[in-house]
Amino acid sequence: MERQLAGKIDTRTARVAVIGQGYVGLPLALEYARAGFAAVGIDTDHDRIAALNLGQSPTPDVPDAELREFVASGRYQATADFSVLDDSDVVIICVPTPLRKSKDPDISYVVAASEQVAAHFHAGQLVVLESTTYPGTTDELLIPMLTGRGGRLGDTVFVAFSPERIDPANKQFKVRDIPKVVGGATPACTRLAAALYRTIVPKVYEVSSPTVAELAKLYENTFRNINIALANEFALMCRRLGVSSREVIDAAATKPFGFMAFYPGPGIGGHCIAVDPFYLSWKMRLNGYEPRFIHIADEINQHMPEHVVELVTEALNNRRRSVNGASILALGVAYKANVGDTRESPALEILATLRAKGAEVAYTDPWVPTTPVGDVELKSVELTDQRLAEADCVVILADHAAFDYAHIVATARLVVDARNATWGLDAPDTRVVRL
């Protein structure tokens, strides 16, 4: 069966199903369609399925025109019907893995998807989990479900883990540009999964097990989380010393070895950096080990929204204005630049806190038309010169490319820049306060 499936992959006759058609699953499915495979995207959101089949993409990384081309060619279709797995040779799981309020892993989406895969299992399938999760998920959850349905691991069913590495809105590194890490449950599983990914990416790095691949992804994002926390704490220290953290970091970054620049911000958010370290932390606590760095980093990063509120309060006080009753205009509420994703966005906590202190809060974001802030639903307002000039304070919370920062600084009375988006612009400190 390994030889048969390898032949189908080599000749692009394998039928590929990708479960989850969000910012990870959709671009992945289209890469297989681009490589010549017949690809089907599965999602439980019926509105999303209807939109996909009309060529309407839910993610800016996939243009509508590109999606329509693949739909029209028949290389890609979307469905909510899991029975298509009956005829699929390859199944790739790309579903969300959020945190519960307790910061414990919520793998309910992975469980639900795995149950569907097991229910439609047939001999000769390759099943790959891409969703970021705690180490051991593939071995402890997915494999038992498939072998419980009669699959013989490495013989009639092939299972691997290959972590997604998509960075939304990154125009330099798309799916085909990023090396894939693959860890199969057996050597045969690794060979097949690696062969599959080599049809769409130039470099595949094979590791010895699914657990190694799961840990690799968690280490990548824990590394970023901790270094962002260090940059954030450094910004707090530099402020006390009266120097610019950005200037210091840029100077340190001139060293050609042994240093990687990370920059401070209003906090962390999104689908990975704010979440993944806690999957590792949770698993390690079960194994009797307390990962201290992760919790220290979280404490620092979670303090940053409060620090931004303090900067706004201090900047207003210096102008003999209180937060209570002040008009605050926020630029951007997404968790990062040039995306519409507000998951775990520190901007929402900052705006909710300012509202609770009595400020009149509005926001503008070309990527986020509406968003809940505390107990209210706010709509993005048009960014006009009048709004900029009338606001008591303009707060930059997401450094979208659509904003003209030079014009903003020239027009607004007071700017608190939590993203260093105005760095390099000639503006008096009395008008611009930078993180």
Which active-site residues does the annotation give? 272
CB 70 within 8 A of CB 76: yes
* 216 backbone dihedrals φ, ψ, rounded to 5°: -60, -45
Tokens describing residue 408:
């903003």
Q: How far apart are the first and last CA of the chain?
A: 58
* 159 backbone dihedrals φ, ψ, rounded to 5°: -130, 140
Tell which residue, 24, 75, 49, has the closest CA to residue 272: 24
Radius of gyration of the chain (CA): 24
